[in-house]
């Protein structure tokens, strides 16, 4: 496996010394998950940080009525963990599952503050967009900012990610196609 995408990601945050790169390369483990394999199940404790080389990963939780709510859809070049479980070393309330076949690098902790800031800011931005935008605007934002997700994830997962029912997703898609988007 080629570790270069991970090294590029970390060096973009802050240039690593050759000694740190060597140590990191010696500690990396590659894993492969096929579609529907779990990286983490609710109730397990998250002990690894993953860097996604290929594939699509979904992070979701279940409501008291067993409805799946997708909080993250992550593609190549992203880092993922169950934040609460990893940092507090407590059982997770989330599930992390492969939506497509995945290859990852787990177990690296350097640069964690910068990574945490980046993903926390992205999470807050997404949360506020969901609160402020109408259905068709949410769909259009996803189409403009993360169009590959619409090709790679199923409609129920996309609906959950946008905090829609499947019928609301169909309606938003139809409204967008009929010119009722942001423009």
- Does residue 168 surpass a pLDDT of 90? yes
- Kindly tell me the burial class for residue 48, based on how many C-beta atoms sit within 10 Å of its own C-beta (0-12, 13-18, 19 or more): middle
- Does residue 100 surpass a pLDDT of 80? yes
Q: How far apart are CA 9 and CA 89, in angstroms?
A: 25
pLDDT level of residue 165 (50, 70, 90 thresholds): very high
Q: What is the pTM of this model?
A: 0.74
Structure confidence at residue 22 (pLDDT): 86
Structure confidence at residue 113 (pLDDT): 58
43: which strand partners?
Answer: none
Instruction: Give residue-wise pLDDT tens across range 102-147.
Output: 988 665 544 565 666 777 787 788 777 777 888 899 999 999 989 9
How far from the centroid of its chain's Cα atoms is residue 126's Cα?
Answer: 12
Residue ranges covered by each domain of the chain:
4-108
Q: Report domain 4-108's class.
A: mainly beta
81 vs 124: which has the higher pLDDT: 81
Other Cβ atoms within 10 Å of 109 Cβ, number: 11
Q: Which of 106, 30, 91 is nearest to 61 (CA)?
A: 91
Structure confidence at residue 119 (pLDDT): 74
For the chain, give the mean pLDDT.
Answer: 87
Beta strands 31-33 and 38-40: pairing type? unpaired
Q: Which residues contact 85 (CB under 8 A, 6 or more apart)?
A: 40, 44, 45, 46, 91, 92, 93, 94
Other Cβ atoms within 10 Å of 74 Cβ, number: 20
Instruction: Give residue-wise pLDDT tens across range 16-51.
Output: 888 888 887 887 888 899 999 999 999 999 988 898
pLDDT level of residue 12 (50, 70, 90 thresholds): confident
């Amino acid at each position: 496996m080629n570790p270069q995408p991970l090294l590029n990601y970390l060096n973009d945050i802050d240039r690593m010394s050759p000694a740190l790169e060597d140590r990191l390369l010696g500690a990396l483990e590659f894993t492969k998950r096929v579609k529907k394999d779990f990286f983490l199940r609710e109730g397990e404790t998250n002990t690894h940080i993953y860097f996604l080389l290929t594939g699509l990963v979904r992070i979701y939780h279940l409501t008291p009525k067993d409805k799946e709510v997708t909080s993250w859809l992550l593609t190549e070049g992203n880092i993922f963990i169950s934040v609460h479980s990893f940092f507090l070393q407590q059982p997770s309330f989330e599930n992390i599952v492969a939506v497509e076949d995945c290859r990852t690098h787990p177990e690296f902790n350097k640069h964690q503050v910068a990574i945490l800031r980046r993903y926390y800011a992205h999470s807050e931005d997404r949360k506020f967009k969901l609160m402020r935008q109408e259905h068709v605007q949410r769909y259009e934002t996803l189409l403009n900012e993360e169009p590959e997700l619409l090709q790679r994830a199923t409609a129920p997962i996309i609906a959950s990610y946008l905090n829609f029912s499947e019928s609301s997703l169909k309606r938003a898609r139809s409204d967008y196609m009929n010119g009722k988007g942001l423009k």
